[in-house]
Structures are given as structure tokens and as C-alpha cells.
Amino acid sequence: EDMTDYILHGLDDGYRAVIDGVNARDTPITFDDLLERLLIQELSIAAIQRQTPAPLTALNAQARPNSNAKSRFGQYPPQSTQRTGSRKPFLGRCQWCNIKGHVLSDCTTFQQ
């Protein structure tokens, strides 16, 4: 129970449903059940974050350059037509092995 309390106190509000569910139980939750619920919630949070569109203010800032940013090309610099095709690497840390670059669902250490 002490370990469960320690884990629950370390979670943010994105895990509120899991925290409330564990606290409402009549019997203590097993570590395996808690881990499963946390993994499901983590995947749910990640899916919501992928679906969240950029705020309109951010889109507007990307569409219109700063009026003070004049260059030798006039008011607006030329737009590049080439796409690099490379994606920025994931900079987060795995919650299981604490290594940067992947999430728990992709962790080879966790899947063993």
C-alpha cells in the first residue's frame, strides 16, 4: 500500500481517473493491476495529445512573418519548396527504463 500511495502521489492530473479509481477500491490494488491501468492511461493521454490541433494564434504566427523581419528578398523571404522528409527525434523519456527517445509502449526492456 505504501508503494501504491507513493506512485499515486507522483502522478499529475492527467491520471486523475486512475487515482480516483484506486482510492475508491475496497481492497488494495495489486502492482500488476496498477501498472496496467497506468499504461492504459498513458496511451490514452498520448493519443489525445496527437489529436490536439495547434492553437489558432500559433498557426497565425507561422503564416505571417514578423513585419520587422525584412531581408534582401523584400518583406517576405522566399518559401522553400523542398521538404527534408526527416522528422525531429522524440525527446521524451521512457517511464520504464528512463532512456530518452522512446515511450513505454516501444520499450524493448519493458516488453521482455
- Grid cell of 5 as nine digits: 500511495
Residue 40, domain member (yes or no): yes
Residue 97, domain member (yes or no): yes
Q: What is the 3-state secondary structure (H, E, C) of 15-29?
A: HHHHHHHHHCCCCCC
Q: Is the dihedral of CA 93, 98, 103, 106 positive or negative?
A: positive
Residue 16, domain member (yes or no): yes
Q: Which domain holds residue 34?
A: 1-54+89-112
The one-digit pLDDT tens for each residue of the chain (112 residues) are: 788 989 999 999 999 999 999 999 999 999 999 999 999 999 988 888 887 666 656 555 555 555 555 555 555 555 555 555 556 666 677 777 777 777 777 788 777 6
Query: pTM of this prediction?
Result: 0.46
Q: Are the beta carbons of 94 and 102 closer than 8 angstroms?
A: yes
